[in-house]
Structure 1
Amino acid sequence: MRRWLPALVLPLLFATASADAALSPQEKSMAATVDAEYERTVSLLQKLVDQNSGTMNLAGVRKVADMVRPEFEQLGFRVEWKPMDRAQRAGHLIATHAGKRGGKRLLLIGHLDTVFEADSPFQKFERNGNRGHGPGAGDDKGGVVVMLAALRAMHAAGTLKDANIEVVLTGDEEDAGSPHAVSRADLIAAGKRADVALDFEGLSVEGGQDMGSIARRSVGDWTLTTRGKSGHSSRIFSESFGDGAVFEMARIIAAFRKELPEPNLTFNVGLIGGGQAADLAADGSHIAAAGKSNIVPAVAVAKGDFRTLSPEQSERVVGKMKQIVAAHLPGTEAELVFEEGYPPMAPTAGNRALLARLNEINADLGLAKMPELDPLLRGAGDISFVAADVDGLVGLGPSSSGDHTPNETVDLDSLRRQAKRAAILMSRLSVAK
């Protein structure tokens, strides 16, 4: 008996068929491989997550590198481990695939470490249907397995053999070793060799919609120390004693809040303390302060960060901050010190063109168009170190929630969606003129 489909279903079926027809036979093969190897991908994710690799667990980071090394070697990559002893970090895994001479050179970026150190109670992977819960399940072990799933799909379809690909998996993305001239030297050099950079950190989803990321803001830490003349509080504001260290600190912080705001800038005071004594611990996360209500405070310390969208904005904000700090209250002085930070990845025409290429693939896969993500909704990352030299896209890893918390959970279905997108994008870029 002939069955009639509801009128609303027919357009959906035709749209799916039309989208599938837009894929080449090799691209259909890649999509099929990703689906067929889904359980293998999830199994590898569990294996990686179950091995702690907090940034300062140097042995753990190396063990994760040892786990993924054979995955790349089986695909024809030459793999090298670059120790980072000088930067007091574990090191980086660099995998290189030589393809067709003259083809576009692709740089794939991810990281091996997590924010959860060896003493964290959050250690193991748990699967509940299409959700995976565990440290680094999304950030960024999920991104690493998406990368590998995409490369395996390319290998099965025959598109990997001609592709020129360099992979840099850093071991300290969550807390980069210093100096950056050492800890990011290999990544920066790879960026100068590349034509395109693809960042396999997590996919951003807003309102149920996958978003395209073409920018990441910088992050830079600062430490402010103010000093004043100490003595009995009855003499505060006098010509001989002045305003004290805490009022000078308050003046500066209030001026930051009033005078710094501009589009795409955020700044934060994360830690503050003052009194007769105030000592910032070596880890930068604790201040031991002591004083009394009837003593003019001699010292105050604050620590914070700021985030910008372009090098020009960073320079402008630093200049404003220094100018504010320099206008001292009577009897006080202040010192503002900036630490090494992550540079910004500004939105560019080249980055937008890459997102347009990805949206062509979305249309061919029958997926919704990915709008640009507001850069205010994304933190800093390793791709920013190469952004001045090469066009790039961010967020080719899976969708997850609760990153950097014990609630970190990855959407396992997004592993497939992202691996298909990445495999087709890399294949098309590799043969592009």
Structure 2
Amino acid sequence: MPVNCSPSSARAAMREVIDTFCRREEGGMFRLLQELVLQPSPSRCKGGVDAVGTRLAASLQTSGMVLETARQAEFGDHLLFRTPACGDGRPALLLFGHMDTVFPLDSPFNWYKDEDGTVSGPGVIDMKGGLVAAVYAIKALASCAVLEEIPLTFLCNSDEEIGSPSSTAIFQAEAQRSVAALGFECGGLNGEVVTGRKGRAGYRLIVTGRAGHAAFAGADKASAILELAHKIIALEQLNDSRRGIVVNVGLIQGGIGPNTVSDHATAEIDTRFLSRADAAATAERLAEIASLPTVAGITAELQYVGGRPPMEQNRRNSELFQGIRAEAERLGQPCTEELRSGVSDANTIAQLDIPVVDGMGPIGEGDHSDREYMIRESLPARVRLAAGSILRIWEQRLRSI
């Protein structure tokens, strides 16, 4: 900042530099997006995810960020980019996004289209567009010669779409050394930024009965399928829209043929909830249903198979969002807060009690399907919003630390 420059005029000058950068580099944003989208990167394809990481590292090479690589054997490597200001142990602002997608290598959804104001392709908003937005926000700040002063970490993980099995510990460690976090999953169609997410818990219910010939089965047959049917009805009755509790039996299996009494049956269960208290209460009710047989001679076992705790809406997240909304208003962009049903790595960060918002990426919909698209103009718009928001957070939360 020039010696004779007031803070307000310095902020205005930096934002003008950011705006000029975004206009000049818009073509580069979409070239990088196309390269990332056309590089298949399903979660369990280490080579594909690592190729995405290599391209991100190349794009940030001149930004002054220092790259740390968390090597992985089974999954793609996780990348951490840090500004030099992180080196003195100061708490940082954490940016995060994932490099993997849900689409298999043989998916017919393997193209990139940029036409009529939209961009389509696998992962274009979930979340390769978000990665591009974060990268170019960082590059825009570097063009202001201010990035070296801001303690900033950008974490790119390789396994979010399968529950982040190898990166959760990294998120926990980085959250502990951060004052706030911004996630770059896609924004809502009306400019929403996510201040809360439901939690998720998955379960497998295993029912065991007694096999027999259907021709000789009586009313007292110990059918695992019959017992599972009773339990499914009880499980579905746990849905409570008022409290935001969702229980869904999405997959069932059992038996070996229509002329047999089944001695085994299983159900895969997905649950969603707004609070930790509701998570515990739902788990208790599931265990109760599993433990109480309706059919004689039946046993059942409930197994927890993974999930994420809720990212509860709270004062800290709301205060962080208010600064982002103020920046959006300055830019003339719509921006409201959203409680989103899906989970992300923001759920993990939220458990460390630091302010976190998500949905800072470009706007679109249809993710996890071949209808996935981005509203084209939202990419440079979200770059401007992210860069300006980082400046605000730096001034309000980081500069005095």
- TM-score, normalization by structure 2: 0.91
In the alignment of these two chains, the number of paired residues is: 385
Paired residue secondary structure (1:196): strand
Paired residue secondary structure (1:213): strand
1:97 and 1:312 mapped to 2: Cα distance? 38
1:212 and 1:236 mapped to 2: Cα distance? 58
CA contact (8 A) 2:41 2:101 kept: yes
> Aligned AA for 1:412?
R
> Aligned AA for 1:93?
L
CA contact (8 A) 2:236 2:248 kept: no
Which one of 233, 256, 269 corresponds to residue 254 of structure 1?
A: 233
* Unaligned residue ranges in structure 1 (runs of 5+): 1-20, 276-289
Structure 1 residues 102, 185: closer, same or farther in 2, change over 3 A?
closer
Which one of 316, 326, 343 corresponds to residue 350 of structure 1?
A: 316
Which one of 375, 384, 390 corresponds to residue 411 of structure 1?
A: 375
2:344 and 2:141 mapped to 1: Cα distance? 26
How many angstroms does 1:114 deviate by? 0.9
How many angstroms does 1:132 deviate by? 1.3
Superposed CA offset, 1:277-325 (max 9, x none): xxxxxxxxxxxxx2224x3221111112112222222111111100111
Q: Find the counterpart in structure 1 of residue 163 from structure 2.
A: 176
Structure 1 residues 102, 431: closer, same or farther in 2, change over 3 A?
farther
State how 1:293-308 maps to structure 2 within 5 Å.
Answer: 293=259, 295-308=260-273
How many angstroms does 1:198 deviate by? 0.3
Q: Find the counterpart in structure 2 of residue 423 from structure 1.
A: 387
1:429 and 1:325 mapped to 2: Cα distance? 48
> Aligned AA for 2:196?
A
How many angstroms does 1:215 deviate by? 1.0
Which one of 280, 287, 306 corresponds to residue 322 of structure 1?
A: 287
1:125 and 1:319 mapped to 2: Cα distance? 46
> Aligned AA for 1:266?
V
2:224 and 2:10 mapped to 1: Cα distance? 67
How many angstroms does 1:62 deviate by? 0.6
> Aligned AA for 2:49?
V
CA contact (8 A) 1:105 1:430 kept: no
**2:40 is the alignment partner of 1:52:** yes
- TM-score, normalization by structure 1: 0.84
How many angstroms does 1:102 deviate by? 8.2
1:103 and 1:418 mapped to 2: Cα distance? 27
Paired residue secondary structure (1:345): coil
Structure 1 residues 102, 360: closer, same or farther in 2, change over 3 A?
farther
Which one of 45, 49, 59 corresponds to residue 71 of structure 1?
A: 59
1:123 and 1:235 mapped to 2: Cα distance? 52
CA contact (8 A) 1:84 1:183 kept: no
Identity %: 28
State how 1:240-279 maps to structure 2 within 5 Å.
Answer: 241-242=221-222, 244-261=223-240, 263-275=243-255
Structure 1 residues 399, 104: closer, same or farther in 2, change over 3 A?
same
**2:219 is the alignment partner of 1:222:** no
Which one of 143, 146, 153 corresponds to residue 166 of structure 1?
A: 153
**2:356 is the alignment partner of 1:392:** yes
Q: Find the counterpart in structure 2 of residue 14 from structure 1.
A: none
State how 1:13-412 maps to structure 2 within 5 Å.
Answer: 24-85=12-73, 88-99=74-85, 105-176=92-163, 180=165, 182-205=166-189, 209-233=190-214, 234-238=216-220, 241-242=221-222, 244-261=223-240, 263-275=243-255, 290-293=256-259, 295-329=260-294, 330-368=296-334, 370-376=335-341, 379-389=342-352, 390-412=354-376
2:346 and 2:184 mapped to 1: Cα distance? 10
2:89 and 2:315 mapped to 1: Cα distance? 24
How many angstroms does 1:104 deviate by? 5.4
How many angstroms does 1:23 deviate by? 6.5
Q: Which of the two has higher C-alpha Rg?
A: 1
> Aligned AA for 1:264?
G
Superposed CA offset, 1:86-113 (max 9, x none): xx31221111113286865100010111
How many angstroms does 1:226 deviate by? 1.0
Superposed CA offset, 1:54-80 (max 9, x none): 112110111111111122231111112
CA contact (8 A) 1:104 1:430 kept: no
1:304 and 1:337 mapped to 2: Cα distance? 10
> Aligned AA for 1:136?
G
